[in-house]
Amino acid sequence: MGAVLGVRSGLFSASSLRALVLSVAVGTIVYVSPAAAQTEDQEAASSNHEGRSSVQNERADIVVIGSYTTDDELESATGLGLSIQETPQSVTVMTSQRMEDQAIRTLSDVVNNAAGVSARAYDSSRNGFSARGFSISNYQIDGVPLQWGAGDSAGESLLDIAIYERVEIVRGATGLLTGAGEPSASINLVRKHADSDRLTGTFWVSAGRWDAYSVMGDISTPITADGSVRARAVAKYAANDSYVDLLHDKKLVLYGVVDADIMPGTKLSFGASYQDNDPRGTLWGGLPVWYADGSRTGWARSKTVGADWTSWASTNETYFANLTQEIGPSWSVELYGSHSVNKGDLRLLYLSGQPDEVTGLGMGISSYRADTERSQIDVGFRAKGTYHLFGQTHDLVFGASYARQDYDSLTYANDPLPPVGDFNGWDGSYPQPTWGASTQVVDMHTSQWGYFAATRLSFSDSLKVIAGGRLSSWERKGLNYGANLDFGDDNRFLPYAGVLYDVVPNHTVYASYTKIFEPQNNRNRDGDYLPPVTGENFEAGLKSSFFNGALSTALSVFHIKQDNLAQPDGGQTVPGTTPPAQAYYPAKGATSTGFEVEANGEILPGWSVAANYTQFKAEDANDERINTLYPQKLLRVFTTYRFEGPLSGLMVGGGVNWEDTSYTDTVNPVTGLEERLEVKSHALVNLMTRYQFENGLSAQLNVENLFDKTYYSQIGFYNQLAYGEPRNVTLTLRYQF
């Protein structure tokens, strides 16, 4: 176990071990606190806190489902519909209550606050996500895998979460359900559904710094008198300026879904969603890192490289349908299909170089206009149920899925551009180029299909074994900026194995092995494509549940291996290529070893907490750190307390997001010397308070970056930098009925 934990390699510092011991100690303290100490008034308050927590009295036991945890069945890891504790992988669920308390609005906000994952804002329209040292490329909506890897220019990371009930993040390799990708994590967005047989709704308006305003409505209603057919609609509009000069965003989100119980055992769900991102003053890339003399720059956080006409506009449109049929008392079959179209309209400027500190001269400029479209079709089925063998009841799921994605990009020519002039005085009043004829530069088609099955074997009430696998195929063909693509892999088998044992009730130890693969477009000296990059995740841990489900904790250790990474084959070329293309060979790749500690839920009546700490070491075959743009140590803590008695209706909360140093090693273009660009270790403190008035009305105040910390959101991406957001304050008025 010591080797897996990385103790011998120095992965755990003294401070890390103290954090680990403290986390375990907190869990122990919480465990001995008597859940039964809740008063009848607190019990009634919990039962009336609809959508956040529920209290059920059975045999004098109090059952509480904490607002920051869930006992819902999760489909994102195994497809078996298991709870967090029953899943032999690290899983974090960002619940609707937590997203409401923290005023989380976008997918990037989720990643910036969830356990074990991190984000980097490359510019005003693009964000990169990472986990355990590898980029995140796997996404799901309602458990259906998506392919965002091909063409990410349509605002994917800016996705609004207004239409989603919760977000599930499964860390490690997730090939069983997602197929191709990296051994990092899979993010599953779970849509809101029409699950109320009476008229209910939520309306809220918010106002924040930099003229940020938004309004949203979310209504559910029965369509038929008996409530067997129900509908739900969500609409949101937001507009805001920014701490960055010239930058202005407008966003429209629309969503509708119908859920129908057609007949006993038959359920149909269908709907559509739409998001329109319409920014102005968009930044493409970041600010210069060096002056013309090689010294480091020091820009104001409001400095921009955008112009008053630059825009990275995008639309996301999706249609979906699901049909579920129960077969007997213990089996069901689900058929699903979806069609999505993401479009981007890009009109951008790229400024680069090293300006003179005094005159501001020396910056180069280029322009870019593109129309992009990515359409994707997903279809599949799943059958799930139980069977009996050797006196025990076991679970089984199997299914098949097919996805096809077509990605097109057209770019436009333009006339020569005038010089930038004095960048120190740049105000964005640069003339928009005259755009010429368009040329199709990308015409790419990606297909993925697979067959999967998994079973949970119950050897006893305490011992469960999960075994399964996916037979996965993936191919990509077409044109990509002058390169003809035709590569992939067929019938790649991806095993899944896990074992769970209940040491005592509500405390489960587990171990798992998962795998994933990713085809690569590199060839060897014989002209053959290299085998796909493979990722393997070994994980073990302890998951616990306290207070009849109100609080869940997890401690995990993991080790990831990635192999078959392409390395240049010195002096060798691919035969038959003109001009001669570099040949590659597959080599041992990267490893990542680390641990995570997490706790979510209610530790005392009215006191909710979401706390986690992650630490890992990710290195290549030469023991050099990889993916250095992202931190390898993360601490996220957020807690709220809901008062009773004279202060009933008042909630206060706060938290801190801390990350360790991340960096990019590069060469100073002026001095020619090697230089390290660092995002230094920093902590951001956030506060919130809410008062619940009578008749469903509440007022909430959120303060982010309370101490107005100045920090880089990234530095080193194309040798540029971007600043993180200064202190922000948002007031939200919400009405629920």
Range 532-538 average pLDDT: 95
220-276 per-position pLDDT tens digit: 999 999 999 999 999 999 999 999 999 999 999 999 999 999 999 999 999 999 999
| Res 154 pLDDT > 70 | no
| Res 393 pLDDT > 60 | yes
Range 606-626 average pLDDT: 95
314-329 per-position pLDDT tens digit: 999 999 999 999 999 9
Give every CB contact of residue 230 below 8 A, 6+ residues apart in sequence: 194, 195, 196, 197, 220, 221, 222, 223, 258, 259, 260
| Res 14 pLDDT > 90 | no
Range 451-476 average pLDDT: 97
| Res 150 pLDDT > 80 | no
Range 33-51 average pLDDT: 36
| Res 13 pLDDT > 80 | no
| Res 404 pLDDT > 80 | yes
179-199 per-position pLDDT tens digit: 999 999 999 999 999 999 999
Q: Which residues on neighbouring strands pair with residue 68, listed in sequence order?
A: none
Highest mean pLDDT, choosing among 59-68, 69-78, 421-430: 421-430
Give every CB contact of residue 670 below 8 A, 6+ residues apart in sequence: 290, 292, 293, 294, 354
Per-residue pLDDT band at 5 (split at 50, 70, 90): very low
Per-residue pLDDT band at 52 (split at 50, 70, 90): very low
| Res 9 pLDDT > 60 | no
Residue 6: per-residue pLDDT? 39
Give every CB contact of residue 587 below 8 A, 6+ residues apart in sequence: 563, 564, 565, 566, 567, 621
Range 706-715 average pLDDT: 96
The three-state secondary structure class of 142 is: coil
Q: Is the peptide bond before 579 cis (omega within 30 degrees of 0)?
A: yes
Query: What is the CA 695 to chain-centroid distance, rounded?
Result: 35
CA nearest 167: which of 179, 151, 185, 194? 185
Residues 337 and 141: beta-carbon distance below 8 Å: no
Residues 565 and 532: beta-carbon distance below 8 Å: no
Kind and range of the H or E run holding 204: strand 200-208
Q: Could you give the percent of the chain with pLDDT greater than 70?
A: 90
What is the Cβ-side half-sphere exposure of residue 312, based on CA atoms within 13 angstroms? 21
Residue identified by tokens 């067959």 is: 451
Residues 500 and 509: beta-carbon distance below 8 Å: yes
Quote the pTM value: 0.89
φ, ψ dihedrals at 599, nearest 5°: -140, 135
Residue 63: per-residue pLDDT? 38
Residues 482 and 521: beta-carbon distance below 8 Å: no
Q: Which amino acid, one-letter code, is at 133?
A: G
557-587 per-position pLDDT tens digit: 999 999 998 888 888 999 988 788 899 999 8
Residue 23: per-residue pLDDT? 40
Residue 482: per-residue pLDDT? 87
Judged on CB neighbours under 10 Å (0-12, 13-18, 19+), 528 is exposed
